Amino acid sequence: MHSNPDANDAPSAPHPEEPESRWRSRAFYKRMLICIGLGFSSGLPLYVLYQMIPAWLRSEGVDLATIGVLSLVSLPYTLKFLWSPLLDRFDPIGLGRRRSWTLLTQVGLLGALAAFSLTSPEFSIAAISGICFVVSVFSATQDIALDAYRRELLPDRELGLGNSLAVNAYRIASLVPGSLALILADTLPWRAVHLVVAAFMLVGILTSLWMPRQPVPAAPTTSLAGTIVVAVRSFVDRRGLGASIAILAFMLLYKLGDSMATALATPFYLDMGFSMTQVGTIAKVASLWASVFGGTVGGIIMVWIGINRALWLFGAVQLLSILGFAALSVAGDDPAVLFGVVSFEYLGVGLGTAAFVAFIARNTDPRYTAFQFAVLTAITGIPRTFAGATTGYLVEWFGYTSFFLGCFALAIPGMLMLPLVAPWGDDPPDPNAVPSTAAASVR
């Protein structure tokens, strides 16, 4: 296992091209295709665990309580920051830190997903649980490596578009285990379905073999514990303690109202009187493609206006779209209103997510991207956890209309923090070009 693999690599050269010439750059399109391929590879295993495995188990007669307990195997996605420093520290097969870990986890996922074909819910729930856990660990580790690689691959001006394409490919990957697999299961045995789904990991493997090794500054420490300490100090020293706290608070608040508004979306639609068919055909289709469209358009716009302005404009759309749910709670079971509200809401989700993920990436240091990105995304996941734990009680206490108006109010503080963390105007110079004062103090 190689230590400090990129010690002799110079920092990535800046990307001087302006947006007009960037669209004609072959390197630009290669970077975007890499983001799409890796985004698909990142989403596939998660949706296998969240969509296909529960459907498979239920179709084989497994009780809902057992299926619910199996959701605990996804815990590595939440705890991935605990081992993320390893991905900043080691290059296991000498292909560069990111490419090595990406290929290792993708090959592991290919094998693990195929291993489901060797099991049967009737005889081996324990074995299935074990494979699910292995898939979860490999998938979470792949996410660490891919998040870090995108940060190192993309210049700041392309963070919005590259990350939005990756997120959209991630969402589209859900169509394989969540749609294609279920259709195939009507005519093929599940053993064959598992092999077909596993084969889609080849998209990620081929992308990883094609993507270039990124020359990035090496972490200036030989100690794993020191890497963690310096990574934290680097984050604080580059902007100051007060600004760092403000950024972390903003990450908690920016999507809080939006996360709460969508936490109980499906039960809300059903309570409004819509049928299961209407929810499946109108709400689910509208939410997927509206968020994909919003993310793609948002990423393209960010190439021109930058991340700071996008956080303001897309955040405003995200904020206003919450009011659509309040309007739907009054309008009742009108399918046209349902389609319009869901489309507008998830357009806001797509736009807001595109800007937000780019903002998170911009605030990481290439030397410690794996650790910092994993920690920051864990922090941004806290509002989702809070939303999932409290929204049911709030709806029961206040009713849907008041609840959604409350979500709108909760989204305002994040917007009010924008002058502090992302002032309106051109994006600041890349802070990663500034040497860290923390690096020399821990070895």
Consecutive 10-residue runs of the chain (443 residues): their mean pLDDT?
Answer: 46 46 70 92 91 82 74 79 83 85 96 94 86 93 90 82 86 86 88 95 94 68 69 82 90 86 77 77 77 83 88 91 89 82 84 86 81 83 67 83 92 93 80 37 28
CA distance 367 to 228: 11
Model pLDDT for residues 28-45, shown as the tens digit of each residue: 888 889 999 999 999 999
Residue 15 confidence (pLDDT): 47
pLDDT value of residue 186: 85
Q: What is the pLDDT of residue 212?
A: 87
First to last CA, the chain: 20
DSSP string, 77-125: HHHGGGTHHHHHHEETTSS-HHHHHHHHHHHHHHHHHHHGGG--TTT-H
Domains and CATH numbers, the chain: 1-218 (1.20.1250.20), 221-427 (1.20.1250.20)
* pTM listed for this prediction: 0.71
Look at residue 268 in the predicted model and tell me its pLDDT: 82
In angstroms, what CA-CA distances link 288 with 173, 285, 293, 412? Answer: 11, 5, 9, 25
The reported pLDDT for the residue numbered 433 is 43
- Report the pLDDT value the prediction gives residue 436, as an integer from 0 to 100: 35
Neighbouring CB atoms inside 10 A of 390's CB total: 12
How do residues 310-347 score in pLDDT, each as one tens digit? 999 999 998 998 998 899 888 877 788 888 888 888 88
Q: What is the DSSP string of 276-311?
A: HHHIIIIIHHHHHHHHHHHHHHHHHHHHHHHHHHHH
Q: What span, in angstroms and rounded, lies between the C-alpha atoms of 86 and 81?
A: 10
How far is 164 from 299, CA to CA, in rounded Å?
6
The tokens 């989204």 sit on which residue?
A: 411
Six token digits for residue 248: 């972390």
